[in-house]
């Protein structure tokens, strides 16, 4: 499909006909397809809604899909088989729409009974929200036996490697001359929503706004068009992304895609929710073994894979080897090269506050990849570093790599420290947002509290530090600095850091 044919469908779920018609009109300004989720209409208003829709001129409905989805297939309310069959016979097929989305059980009955259905206007669909093992090829075979114009499979995916089967299914449909919509639902399936149309998917779905999402991890139309630039993606587009678990909170896609857009680079940056790192590297990244035909250029690496990923690389920069963690992968000449940009990202903002760190007393909280980078950078500046963790035994790899004392966090008091660094995930938006690795009492008497968490910008750790008079430094400056270095490694060009900073701030205000 050429880029000017990319179809983005707004799925509209409203409770009454007035709101539905208003949403249709606003959708016309942002999309070229609209799905009317009539299962969302209040039961006592369904008949009158269909009457009002019949009054609308055909050209006011864009390219329209009518849907009447049962609860178990993602609908808003319980609908048994008889309810749905009655709706389509009495109302659905009479509505002024381009397509009618029928669930496979209903489509099979209509086909077997030779009912009068215009199959050239039917989307036959299956939705699986359970997240279990689904044989997609068998599911496709079942759909393909029907004469529907378009087939649709939407399944919940738990790991980015599950997207391989979805992309393979699109390849199969293309080779067999069938139109297919194939989507991975959930945060691990974002790549299918963004790359799907370029790989043959009939369309992708987008919400009018964040509150209007009708499926797990559904992106907004604005994100698809303006952030990921879905209409410009082609076979030649370079693919980059972030691997970790979780990644949904990260600002990396907004920041890197903003730079690609500003500089008109043919590249897209995607979030990859990765649990099985070894399989992901083997099946989706390594040029010699990957099962997807794409121009992957590089990856960012975040928690919990910064150390484990090193075993899957062909070459590691000496600094990253000393740090013991990789946060950046560059694919060059079919080899995977590993770097660490966290260290430079960490130290540069700190030196704007404390230009001379020689002899400074620094405490680093945490034992993961970010902590390793911070310790390495501080030691190179001549600082005196102590490390504090919740489990000293688990931190033994840290003591083996660096000649620094390691103590238990619960017993720590940071009075007299020049810098206290939070290098844990505590405070990050989501499950850990209300947490802090250190209390105000522990931070009393410290000069500067530096939180490497950047989302949100104001964390509980920084709040606790401010209560006792500490200077504070948030993680956004580090985030931008390390991202700029990643961009340089991937492209050989200097990054417009102000574009990155603005994109990050805008993304934070929208959350």
Q: What phi and psi, each to the nearest 5 degrees, are found at residue 154?
A: -125, 115
Q: Do residues 305 and 311 lie in contact, with contact meaning Cβ atoms separated by under 8 Å?
A: no
Contacts of 83 (CB under 8 A, 6+ apart): 70
CB atoms within 10 A of CB 162: 22
Diameter of the chain measured on Cα atoms: 84
Rounded Cα gap, residues 511 and 508, in angstroms: 5
Catalytic option among 25, 306, 351, 396: 306
Rounded Cα gap, residues 315 and 324, in angstroms: 13
Q: What phi and psi, each to the nearest 5 degrees, are found at residue 202?
A: -55, -40
Instruction: Enter the DSSP assignment of 245.
Output: S
Q: Taking the C-alpha atoms of 256, 274, 11 and 172 in order, what is their torsion angle to the nearest 10 degrees?
A: 100
Rounded Cα gap, residues 383 and 346, in angstroms: 14
Q: Do residues 266 and 236 lie in contact, with contact meaning Cβ atoms separated by under 8 Å?
A: yes
Q: Do residues 61 and 32 lie in contact, with contact meaning Cβ atoms separated by under 8 Å?
A: no
Contacts of 112 (CB under 8 A, 6+ apart): none
Residues comprising the chain, all counted: 511
- Give every strand in the sheet of 471-473, ordered side by side: 406-408, 384-389, 361-365, 419-422, 448-451, 471-473
Q: Residue 347 has which token pair?
A: 């130290």
Asked about 396 being catalytic, the answer comes back as no
> Angle formed by the axes of helices 46-55 and 17-27, to 10°?
40
Handedness of CA 448, 454, 457, 463 (dihedral sign): negative
Handedness of CA 284, 288, 294, 299 (dihedral sign): positive
Report the catalytic residues.
306
């Amino acid at each position: 499909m050429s880029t000017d044919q990319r179809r983005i469908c707004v799925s509209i779920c409203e409770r009454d006909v007035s709101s539905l018609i208003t949403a249709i009109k606003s959708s016309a300004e942002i999309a070229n397809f609209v799905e009317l989720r009539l299962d969302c209409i209040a039961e006592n208003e369904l008949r009158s809604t269909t009457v009002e829709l019949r009054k609308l001129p055909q050209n006011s409905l864009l390219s329209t899909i009518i849907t009447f989805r049962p609860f178990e297939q993602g609908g808003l309310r319980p609908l048994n088989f008889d309810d749905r069959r009655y709706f389509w016979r009495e109302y659905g097929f009479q509505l002024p729409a381009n397509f009618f989305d029928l669930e496979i059980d209903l489509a099979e009955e209509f086909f077997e009974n030779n009912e009068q259905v215009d199959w050239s206007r039917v989307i036959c669909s299956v939705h699986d929200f359970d997240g279990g093992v689904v044989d997609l090829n068998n599911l496709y075979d079942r759909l393909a036996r029907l004469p529907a114009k378009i087939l649709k499979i939407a399944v919940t995916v738990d790991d980015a490697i599950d997207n391989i089967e979805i992309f393979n299914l699109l390849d199969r449909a293309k080779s067999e001359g069938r139109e297919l919509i194939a989507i991975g639902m959930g945060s691990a399936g974002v790549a299918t929503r963004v790359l799907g149309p370029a790989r043959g998917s009939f369309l992708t779905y987008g919400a009018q706004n964040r509150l209007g999402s009708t499926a797990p991890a559904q992106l907004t139309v604005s994100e698809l068009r303006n952030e990921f630039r879905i209409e410009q993606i082609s076979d030649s587009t370079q693919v980059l992304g972030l691997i970790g678990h979780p990644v949904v909170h990260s600002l990396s896609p907004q920041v890197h895609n903003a730079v690609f857009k500003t500089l008109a680079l043919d590249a897209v940056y995607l979030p990859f929710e990765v649990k099985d790192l070894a399989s992901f590297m083997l099946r989706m990244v390594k040029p010699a073994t990957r099962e997807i035909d794409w121009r992957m250029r590089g990856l960012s690496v975040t928690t919990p894979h910064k150390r484990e990923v090193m075993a899957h690389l062909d070459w590691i920069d000496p600094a990253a080897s000393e740090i013991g963690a990789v946060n950046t992968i560059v694919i060059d000449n079919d080899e995977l090269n590993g770097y660490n940009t966290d260290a430079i990202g960490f130290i540069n903002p700190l030196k704007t506050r404390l230009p001379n760190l020689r002899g400074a007393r620094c405490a680093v909280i945490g034992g993961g990849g970010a902590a390793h980078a911070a310790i390495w950078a501080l030691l190179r500046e001549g600082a005196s570093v102590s490390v504090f963790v919740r489990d000293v035994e688990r931190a033994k790899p840290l003591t083996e790599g660096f000649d620094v004392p390691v103590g238990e966090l619960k017993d720590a008091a940071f009075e007299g420290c020049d810098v206290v660094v939070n290098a844990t995930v505590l405070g990050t938006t989501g499950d850990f947002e209300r947490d802090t690795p250190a209390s105000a009492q522990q931070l009393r008497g410290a000069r500067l509290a530096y939180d490497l968490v950047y989302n949100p910008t104001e964390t509980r750790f920084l709040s606790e530090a401010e209560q006792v008079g500490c200077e504070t430094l948030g993680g956004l400056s580090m985030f931008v600095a390390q991202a700029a270095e990643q961009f340089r490694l991937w492209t050989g060009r200097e990054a417009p850091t102000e574009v990155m900073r603005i994109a990050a701030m805008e993304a934070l205000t929208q959350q």
